[in-house]
């Protein structure tokens, strides 16, 4: 298994889940803005790394916070809702049936998922961090998690997310999508073909 999967999914997950002004995210933002992230990204062409880097270094702190608010919090409609159930539930609701299935999978697998906030577990940031956890601690659960609970909707999320005009987060989205595609290919995962409603 490639060494870069776990740290990159964990780092990008943190940047998607927590606001940019959170203490743990400040050094991560610097990592991406300086280009230090590229050393482990052999799965990307040089042109793709350059394209991503151009997006990552363009944003001032205030704009980064405004972009995070617009993409992940609101109050306006989110261009790419970050919860899996919005894509998989007929009513496009948060806390839908697919979230209940994910919770059952986590409980059955003995994974205790405790959060300080009332956020659905199928948030893109949490799902990326859970991918990192499974890579490190429970690799036998990784394939079913990805095939049944994450990959069926995440590429639609990235299609919407990467079309936004928020350079830093767009760069992260392009990187995260390429990373998951590489992981899927290396693990030979065939995601469930589920109906998407968004």
Residue 58 has pLDDT above 80, yes or no: no
Distance CA 61, CA 50 (A): 21
CA dihedral 140, 94, 120, 133 (to 10 degrees): 30
Residue 81 has pLDDT above 70, yes or no: yes
Residue located via tokens 């990467």: 162
Residue 9 has pLDDT above 80, yes or no: yes
Q: Which tens digit of pLDDT belongs to each residue from 128-152?
A: 999 999 999 999 999 999 999 999 9
- The stretch 65-93 carries a mean pLDDT of 95
Q: Which DSSP symbol is given to 80?
A: S
Q: For residue 66, what pLDDT is reported?
A: 95
The pTM of the full predicted model, rounded to 2 decimals, is 0.96
Contact by Cβ (8 Å): 137, 110 = no
Q: For residue 1, what pLDDT is reported?
A: 63
Domains identified in the chain and CATH numbers: 4-187 (1.10.3480.10)
- The stretch 158-175 carries a mean pLDDT of 95
Looking at the chain, the whole-number percentage of residues with pLDDT higher than 90 is: 88
């Amino acid at each position: 298994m490639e060494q870069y999967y776990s740290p990159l999914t964990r780092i990008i997950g943190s940047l998607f889940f927590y606001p940019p002004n959170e203490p743990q995210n400040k050094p991560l933002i610097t990592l991406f803005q300086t280009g230090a992230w590229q050393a482990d990204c052999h799965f990307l062409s040089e042109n793709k790394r350059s394209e991503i880097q151009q997006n990552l270094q363009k944003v001032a702190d205030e704009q980064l916070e405004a972009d995070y608010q617009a993409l992940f919090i609101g109050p306006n409609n989110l261009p790419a809702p970050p919860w899996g159930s919005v894509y998989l539930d007929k009513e496009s609701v948060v806390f839908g049936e697919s979230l209940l299935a994910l919770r059952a999978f986590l409980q059955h697998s003995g994974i205790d998922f405790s959060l300080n906030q009332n956020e659905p577990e199928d948030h893109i940031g949490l799902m990326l961090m859970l991918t990192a956890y499974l890579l490190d601690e429970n690799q036998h659960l990784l394939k079913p998690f990805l095939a049944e609970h994450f990959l069926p909707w995440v590429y639609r999320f990235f299609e919407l997310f990467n079309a936004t005009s928020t350079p830093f987060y767009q760069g992260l989205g392009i990187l995260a999508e390429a990373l998951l595609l590489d992981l899927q290919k290396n693990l030979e995962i065939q995601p469930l073909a589920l109906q998407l409603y968004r």
